[in-house]
Amino acid sequence: MSSEQKIRVLIAKPGLDGHDRGAKVVARALRDAGMEVIYTGLRQTPEQIAEAALQEDVQVVGLSILSGAHNHLFPRVVKLLREKGMNDVLVIGGGVIPQDDIPGLKEAGVAEIFTPGTPTAEIVKYIREHVGNR
Amino acid sequence: MPETRSKGGLALSDHEERARLESEVRKWEGGPVAKTLTRNPERKESFVTTSGIEIPRVATPLDVQDLDYLNDLGLPGEYPFTRGVQPTMYRGRFWTMRQYAGFATAEESNRRYKYLLEQGQTGLSVAFDLPTQIGYDSDHPLAEGEVGKVGVAIDSLRDMEILFDGIPLDKVSTSMTINAPAAVLLAMYIAVGEKQGVPSEKLNGTIQNDVLKEYAARGTYIFPPKPSMRLITDIFEYCAKHVPEFNTISISGYHIREAGATAVQEVAFTLADGIAYVEAAIKAGLDVDSFAPRLSFFFNSHLDFLEEIAKFRAARRLWAKIMKERFHAQNPRSLMLRFHTQTAGVTLTAQQPFNNIIRVAMQTMAAVLGGTQSLHTNSYDEALALPTEESVRIALRTQQIVAYESGIGDTVDPLAGSYYIEYLTNEIERRALEYINKIDDLGGAVAAIEKGYIQNEIQESAYRYQKEIESGQRVVVGVNRFQMEEDPPKNLLRVDPEVGVRQAEKLKKLRAERDNDRVRETLRALKQAAQGDANLMPVILDAVRVYATLGEICGVLREVFGEYEAAAL
């Protein structure tokens, strides 16, 4: 990956959760940091997210969820991405996700979870350091 | 009516007095202030509210020069209602203490409601899960993982009966946070009342029923705007005749604020939505005074204590003027902005959660000093999970302590006459009106939302707020200052992941036990009515009474009305 090419990121809202303030703020922060960001909008199924990731040829998928359905939906997204051959895509998440659930999500292939209060700068740094490392 | 301007109180009585004060202020700024600033600069270069309103170093009569007591403030319970919508306010009765609650199954939520009533709350508030809010049964594929997580799962009248088991609907008022399928949940509530022997005329409560803010900020819409407005006006019409004690809508700013809006935008976008609803109802043939007295509102109580108090007062005055001058409402009750408040969830932190108790206490006081009719206080674990019994109890005690121990309810609108509060009230009203005019130019709230105007304004404000936090300009105690190492929180509420399975089993049983011929009949009648322009409430009631499920009813409506497609923004 040449340094001139922008990192491509998909920010997605899986499930029925309608809270998109965080997703939009993160998308904007990543754009300001020089990344190419596509925001899916609300009510995406894992299938729709994986398809969008493929179509948009992204290196990072960021999942935002505040409804408590993360344990069900995040692993599904990872599984579908891998099934579509996107083994190098970095999957990260954020929202209202209890600390206790994070190890399980990581085991399912989510690289990192960014909980409430995380500065966007930290997310930018994480992506830059981990993109393409799989 | 000619304006008689009173000259007492705040206003300066003549040009000479004003000139003298201006001169004194200049001397003070050039003298003691300048001297202090060289020794000790102020904490910030400029002080502004969340809305960007300049905060004066000290407010004086010069900041409220044209204020006229009778025209601009008036007396409580009288136009323009700046000081409150009732003459005696909390001297007569405290605000309703109404904690938003609900999770997992109707049985568990029923237990929580009884607990809250035992602990002294004075009204019920139902939180529904996302599948319910979006018109899906618990066994719908899209409901997987979501059942019972953010509220109670209600699939049919049977669940609703369990939810209110042992709770007399003629003795308690219930607010239901339900929007797109509000007609269905209202019908279920009416049907539960019937089974309890309580006629719909005696039912007391509120349905949120505010679809415009769903499109703009909250996201639990189902149908496109036109049929959604039809459903809303059908509800207005039906309730005016049959459920006169119910607030048919809770025009909401809470969520708009949570999504990132400033205080001014919260007032502006909420009232713009209100205008759209009034216009839709009038267009549908309703007389404004037949439904306006039962419109209610829902606001946020955020961190800038003084701005929030002024915000509530500005909202009341602005709405009163709109109803009088724009819609020519005659009934004084049509001019009253009655509102519920919730303390700002978005301001509560995952870090050092007990600090949130203080934030909520401040926000409670702001709402009370602002004259709210009803209040929900968030629990300290708001950023982490749904409340436990302990955390919701402390939130309720916060209200009770403010009510019974602080004394702020013993006189109406105590901050009136404060130069700063009246200056802020004026500024918020003025700036909100500017936004409303802009939205009018765009074609009204529906058009503004379809064009993405409101969403963009909210997003800009949200991004600005986040930048302020990350630059350190805006301090969040425990998050960007005064941080500490913490153990992960313990004893948080967790919703049993098997709730979805249990609800699916209940549905199977229900479908086997009910009269499916009757269900099919009522759904057919519903489809026909939806395709025409008859009021949908009676047919929805018929379907609900024979245990058609929420998903089945909304499925028919989805077929006829289609689904809202959010534009890619």
B39 and B141 within one domain: no
Q: Is residue A3 situated within a structural domain? A: no
Q: How would DSSP label each residue in B101-146?
A: E--BSHHHHHHHHHHHHHTT--SEEEEBPHHHHTT--TTSGGGTTT
Same domain, B110 and B28: no
Q: Smallest Cα–Cα separation from B306: which of B46, B50, B43, B10?
A: B50
pLDDT at B12: 66
B32/B171 same-domain check: no
Domain count of chain B? 2
**Which site among B459, B483, B554 would you substitute to test the A interface, given the most A Cβ atoms closer than 10 Å to its Cβ?**
B459
What is the full DSSP assignment across B451-479? TTHHHHHHHHHHHHHHHHHHHTSS--BTT
Return d(Cα B287, Cα A74) in angstroms, integer.
50
Domain with B105 in it: what CATH number? 3.20.20.240
Distance, in Å, from the CA atom of A57 to the CA atom of A85, rounded to the nearest integer, reads 11
CA distance B478 to chain A (A): 9
Helices in B214-328 by DSSP H: which ranges?
225-242, 254-258, 263-283, 288-291, 305-321
pLDDT computed for residue B569 by the predictor = 59
* B101: phi then psi, degrees, rounded to nearest 5: -150, 155
Torsion of CA B11, B17, B23, B26, to 10 degrees: -20
pLDDT attached to residue B265: 98
Residues B167 and B116 in one domain: yes
E-state strands within A1-134: 8-12, 36-39, 60-65, 90-95, 112-114
Q: What range defines the domain where residue B26 resides? A: 15-69
C-beta of residue B248 within 8 angstroms of C-beta of residue B207: yes
Question: B463 and B431, same structural domain?
Answer: yes
Q: Which of A15, A18, A21 sits opposite B260 (nearest CB)?
A: A21
B259 → closest Cβ in A16, A21, A72: A21
**Token reading at B276:** 């759209």
Per-residue tokens: B362: 């401040």
- Chain B residues with CB under 8 Å of A125 CB are none
Let me know if residue A27 belongs to a domain: yes
Q: Which residue segment(s) compose the domain that A60 sits in? A: 8-130
Do B34 and B170 reside in the same domain of the chain? no
Residues B45 and B173 in one domain: no
Q: What crossing angle do the helices spanning B355-369 and B305-321 adopt, rounded to 10°? A: 30
Residue B153 three-state SS: coil
Q: What residue type is assigned to position A131 of the chain?
A: V
Looking at B410, B439, B471, the residue that finishes a domain is: B471
pLDDT band at A5 (very low <50, low <70, confident <90, very high): confident
Which token pair is B102?
């609900």
Q: Do residues B113 and B51 both lie within one domain?
A: no
Span A52-66, average pLDDT: 97
Hey, is the C-beta of B55 within 8 angstroms of any chain A C-beta? no
How far apart are the C-alpha atoms of B479 and B266, rounded to whole Å? 25
- Distance (Å, whole) CA B432 – CA B116: 37
Q: What is the pTM of this model?
A: 0.96
Q: Are A89 and A110 in contact (CB under 8 A)?
A: no
Q: Considering only CB atoms, which chain A residues are within 8 Å of B145?
A: 15, 69, 71-73
Residues 199-218 of B with CB under 8 A from A: 214, 218
> What is the spatial order of strands in the sheet that A90-95 belongs to?
A36-39, A8-12, A60-65, A90-95, A112-114
User: Encoding tokens for residue B35?
Assistant: 């001297």
- Picking from B471, B497, B521, the residue at the C-terminal end of a domain is B471
Confidence (pLDDT) at B6: 47
Do B62 and B117 reside in the same domain of the chain? no
Domain co-membership, B64 together with B106: no
C-alpha radius of gyration, chain B, whole number: 25
Structure tokens at B565: 């497609």
CATH of the domain at A65: 3.40.50.280
Run means of pLDDT, 10 residues per run, chain B, 569 residues: 48 82 97 98 96 97 93 98 98 98 98 98 98 98 97 98 98 98 98 98 98 97 97 96 97 98 98 98 96 97 98 98 98 98 98 98 98 98 96 98 98 98 98 98 97 97 97 97 94 94 97 98 98 97 98 98 85
A25 contacts on B by Cβ (under 8 Å): 260, 462-463, 466
B325 located within any domain:
yes
Total domain count for chain A? 1
| DSSP type of residue B13 | S
Check whether residue B112 and residue B158 sit in a common domain.
Answer: yes
Kindly state whether residues B43 and B117 are assigned to the same domain. no
Nearest to B479 among A21, A73, A117 (CB): A117
Residue B2 lies in a domain: no
Given pLDDT bands bounded at 50, 70 and 90, which one contains residue A93?
very high
Domain boundary among B445, B471, B497: B471
Tell me how far apart the alpha carbons of residues B49 and B526 are, in angstroms, rounded to a whole number.
Answer: 50
Indicate yes or no: CB of B150 within 8 angstroms of CB of A15.
no
Alpha-carbon distance B29 to B45, whole Å?
Answer: 16
**Residue A2 domain-assigned (yes or no):** no
Output the six-digit token pair for B94. Answer: 């405290």
Decide if pLDDT at A132 tops 50: yes
Asked if residues B318 and B380 have their Cβ atoms less than 8 Å apart, the reply is no
ipTM of the complex: 0.95
Q: What is the pLDDT of residue B136?
A: 98
Q: A82: burial class by Cβ within 10 Å (0-12, 13-18, 19+)?
A: middle
Residue of A nearest to B456 (CA): A24
Q: If pLDDT is split at 50, 70 and 90, which confidence band does A134 have?
A: very low
